[in-house]
Amino acid sequence: MSEQQDVIIIGGGGAGLTAALYTSRAKLSTILFEKLAPGGQIALTDVVENYPGFPEGITGPEISMKMEEQAKKYGTQMAYEEIKSIQKTGEIFEIKTASRSYRARSVILACGASFRMLNVPREKELTGKGVSYCATCDGAFFKGREIIVVGGGDSALQEGLFLTRFATKVSIIHRRDKLRASPILQERAKAAPQIQFIWDSVVEAIQGDKKVEGVKLKNLKTGETTDFKTDGVFIFIGHDPNTAFIKGFVQMDDHGYVTTDPQLRTSLPGVFAAGEIRAGAVKQLVAAAGEGCEAALQAQAYLDH
């Protein structure tokens, strides 16, 4: 059993790393748990253009590494482990990973959300063989190829635009005839010669034996299905919160997002939530960072009490 921490932060995305920066600078002993790499979803993003202070943009991996470096500079301990369970006994939280237990006086939940799957036939089997959820990770494998992108939000358009660096043709498949994405991304995508839109359509199945060869598309307006040849399927249809391991620990909404009051306090005293895990969060890096700051200051006030 390790010594007791003032704050344990779960999740190393923009919210968690900012919270860690603030708690560490407040001289609160802080461990931040992250199961993958620092940055969370941002680490998988090609370029961040809307974080103030970087007029030329900054790559996702670069801002992630810098945020981690800054938190560590002031004393944050990083623990690259997955949390299995968490419980409160008296005033103390006990957090268990596969190999050990940790104790803390307060907890900041910042574990974000994970990409959603289509849940269609052959999707699982062909993941890594033409099906991908990360353009920056896999885009380069599709040089000179034709691919599809599924979704109509900011992620689908931003990543679709990135993929035009490699693919000769990017078909964006959207289930409606109106995009959810921000106007600036819509404008850019519509102007890109390699991008075409296929409206009112969903992917019903992915085809291919050892690798992706095509998809079965259904037009939701006409009901017509067609076989569409493609070398790659990039799926960007939103996210689900990473809250399975804290079910029953704090209150959540019907979709599994953690509910908080305006001070980011959850239903359990001493537990705060920040970033995309939180119901009502706007899901932007700058907002996640702001919420990380708020949660850290509220945790500090709670501990001072």
From 6, 46, 111, 138, the catalytic residue: 138
Q: Which residue's CB is nearer to ligand NAP, number 88 or number 175?
A: 175
Q: Which residue's CB is nearer to ligand NAP, number 167 or number 189?
A: 189
CB of 24 to ligand NAP, least distance (A): 27
Q: Which residue's CB is nearer to ligand NAP, number 77 or number 114?
A: 114
**Cα–Cα distance between 132 and 129 in angstroms, integer?**
8
Closest-CB residue for ligand NAP?
153
- By the 8 A CB rule, do 12 and 24 touch? no
CB of 298 to ligand NAP, least distance (A): 24
Token pair, residue 46, equals 């090609």
Contacts to ligand NAP by CB under 6 A? 50, 118, 150-156, 158, 175-176, 180, 202, 236-239, 283-284
CB of 203 to ligand NAP, least distance (A): 7
Q: Whose structure tokens read 């299905």?
A: 225
From 137, 227, 253, 261, the catalytic residue: 137
Active site residue 137: yes
Active site residue 154: no
Q: Which residue's CB is nearer to ligand NAP, number 25 or number 239?
A: 239
3-class DSSP string for the chain: CCCEEEEEEECCCHHHHHHHHHHHHCCCCEEEECCCCCCHHHHHCCEECCCCCCCCCEEHHHHHHHHHHHHHHCCCEEECCCEEEEEEECCEEEEEECCCEEEEEEEEECCCEEECCCCCCCCCCCECCCEECCHHHHHHHHCCCEEEEECCCHHHHHHHHHHCCCCCEEEEECCCCCCCCCHHHHHHHHHCCCEEEECCEEEEEEECCCCCCEEEEEECCCCCEEEEECCEEEECCCEEECCHHHECCECECCCCCECCCCCCECCCCCEEECHHHECCCCCCHHHHHHHHHHHHHHHHHHHHC
Active site residue 293: no
CB of 45 to ligand NAP, least distance (A): 7
CB of 305 to ligand NAP, least distance (A): 34
Q: Which residue's CB is nearer to ligand NAP, number 96 or number 188?
A: 188
Q: Which residue's CB is nearer to ligand NAP, number 50 or number 196?
A: 50
CB of 126 to ligand NAP, least distance (A): 17
- What is the four-CA torsion angle of 5, 8, 12, 16, rounded to 10 degrees? -110
Active-site residue numbers? Answer: 134, 137-138
